[in-house]
Amino acid sequence: MSTAPAPTTASALAEDVRRGRTTAVTLVREAIGRIEQRDPAIGAFQVVRAERAVAEATAVDARDDLRSLPLAGVPVAVKDNVPVAGEPMRVGTEASDPTPQTSDHPVVARLRAAGAVVVGLTRVPELCVYGATDSVFGITRNPWDTSRTSGGSSGGSAAAVAAGMVPVAHGNDGMGSIRIPAACCGLVGIKPGADVVPSELGNGSWFGFAENGPLTTTVADSALLLSVMADQPGLASAASADPGRLRIAVTVAAPARGIPVDPQFVTATRSSADLLRGAGHRLVERTLRVSPASTLAGVATWCAGTERDAQLMVDRTRLSKPVARHARAGRVLLRAGLPRESARAAWRATALEFFEDVDLLLTPGLAQEPLAADRWSGKGWLRNLRANSSYAPFGAPWNMAGWPAIVVPTGQRTTSGLPLSVQLVAPPGGEARLLSVAAQLEQLAPWPLVAPAYAGATAV
């Protein structure tokens, strides 16, 4: 099967289908061709829905409302931890039930109602616990450098987009699991605030920490996908809106003491601050620390959420050693009455006080470059904990708060060429503001849509 070059944006593809310049079937066949050619080197996909996706694309082309569909014919990838009707949901583990799911997750149903076609399910680390995507099913590699991880736990989705296999993908984020892969792979990734998008993830959505959201190449595509996932059509135009002149705090220190931040991420954050200052915003550098008690509460939620998800498995004896130990720690914590909502409320109070005189917070996307693409599931529990907390500490506090946050690319490392990134955080209800300011950064310092090896690549 021949393929077209790496796809343009979802917004442009949907417009082409709506105007009759192409068809959903054509777009889906091209996407499947790219997956067949590129995924053997990347390992992004758990399931490729080749025949089923073409059949569904045919149905999209025949819809009476085709000309009004916001995602008309757009090929999308869905993370393999939400139900997709007719497909197994393995959640990165042989301990899961391989029986096909009987219905779609609400977010998948909304994507399909908007005209998108699910071309495949993307790989995750086991039970989505850690920030590097590997499992018994394989290692997912970063399209920018295949010796590095694409991040986790939405690493398969990020890799699929960064390699130009699909223009956009679904992900979810319990402690940074959209934003970490976005930072690793040079993408836009937004975690909405609580109750904006249906979560319904695992056994209690990690005590309400986890949210569904998009991984995309542009801010406009993130706004479009989020508008569909949230069933808020007005969000689609957020990327083109003027945010006004805002007060933006900048912090380059990790939220927990003792975690060093790579100087290139510090420089990239300050450079982004300079761009925003030039756009008329008022920038002030501050430090925002998470208290030891709140840090421990986050770790307790991480472990206890894993235990609750492990309870859904059909054979938890087949879990890898580090994930099984993570779950056992969670079992002990649950018996002790942890995590407690009071710790989460205390962190929210700290965050609200910090934001009393600022509108947004700007931080680095990561503290260190992506981890090695390796079988982390075969390494020790403590080694996994140290690796995750040291390279990606900036995301989890905003899951604890339940506040929206977005990661966008901002240049490349001078040493390795891997992407650099920044994170923007807003108080509840700030998704549109985040998108509009992120779009300003995109306009002032554009980034590549896909990894260099896949820019303009064509299969024959």
412, β-bridge pairs: 419
For residue 227, indicate whether it is catalytic. no
Judge whether 150 counts as a catalytic residue. Answer: no
Q: Which of 177, 199, 222, 294 is flagged as catalytic?
A: 177
Angle, helix 24-42 to helix 10-18, in steps of 10 degrees: 150
Report helix angle 431-444 to 263-278, nearest 10. Answer: 100
Q: Cα–Cα–Cα angle for 151, 138, 298, nearest 5°?
A: 40
Q: What angle is formed at CA 219 by the lines to CA 194 and CA 434, rounded to 5 degrees? A: 45
Active-site entry in 11, 79, 191, 421: 79
Q: What is the DSSP string of 399-418?
A: HHHT--EEEEEEEE-TTT-P
Contact 53, 118 (CB under 8 A): yes
153 carries an active-site annotation: yes
According to DSSP, residue 428 is labeled: T
Q: Output the CA–CA distances (angstroms, integers) from residue 40 to 50, 55, 136, 138, in the order listed.
A: 15, 24, 16, 11
From the candidates 96, 150, 153, 154, give the one annotated as an active-site residue. Answer: 153
**If you write DSSP's letter for every residue of 49-90 in order, what string do you get?**
-HHHHHHHHHHHHT-TTGGG-TTTT-EEEEETTS--BTS---
Residues annotated catalytic, as ranges: 79, 153, 177
